């Protein structure tokens, strides 16, 4: 008999809850929060903790039908894919891989992720699993010294 594993759900997040309604998504659009998240994600000066916090907020926003369009308007998917493939910190890459999975929970997000040569699982789950078509992409690590 097959073993059924427990599904672990993402904890709720303020921004993820906010974009569950059109009014909430519109409120978020009128604020400058997404622009701040974009700045934190792209900036070299942003601390790792703050960058990851911005990524989690973006992931929760983009995992909803009302929020993915806001993420696309900010042109955030390509930079997140780039970080997943090239970030110096492997923990940041892991966070980005998870966030890409969250973004692929919508049809629009899944379609855009496919444009960057990533594959999204076909099952509708709490968070989809996404990987690059060429898995070696994740293992390109620059030389470093301790």
Q: What is the pLDDT along the chain (146 residues), one digit of tens a residue?
A: 677 766 667 788 999 999 999 999 999 999 999 999 999 999 999 999 999 999 999 999 999 999 999 999 999 999 999 999 999 899 999 999 999 999 998 989 999 999 999 998 766 555 678 889 888 888 877 776 76
Q: What are phi and psi of 130, to 5 degrees?
A: -130, 140
Q: In 3-state terms, what secondary structure has residue 119?
A: strand
Q: What is the pTM of this model?
A: 0.87
Contact 144, 137 (CB under 8 A): no
Helix (H, G, I), strand (E, B) or coil at 27: helix
Q: Which tokens belong to 61? A: 């926003």
Q: What are the residue ranges spanned by the domains of the chain?
A: 14-139
């Amino acid at each position: 008999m097959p073993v059924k594993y427990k599904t672990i759900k993402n904890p709720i997040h303020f921004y993820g809850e906010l974009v569950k309604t059109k009014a909430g998504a519109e409120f978020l659009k009128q604020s400058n929060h997404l622009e701040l998240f974009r700045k934190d994600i792209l900036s070299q000066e942003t601390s790792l903790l703050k960058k990851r916090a911005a990524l989690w907020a973006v992931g929760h926003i983009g995992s909803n039908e009302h929020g993915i369009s806001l993420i696309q308007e900010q042109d955030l998917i390509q930079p997140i894919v780039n970080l997943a493939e090239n970030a110096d910190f492997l923990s940041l890459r892991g966070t980005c891989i998870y966030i890409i999975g969250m973004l692929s929970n919508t049809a629009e997000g899944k379609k855009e992720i496919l444009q960057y040569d990533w594959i999204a699982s076909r099952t509708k789950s709490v968070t989809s699993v996404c990987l690059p078509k060429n898995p070696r992409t994740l293992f390109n690590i620059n030389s470093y010294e301790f």
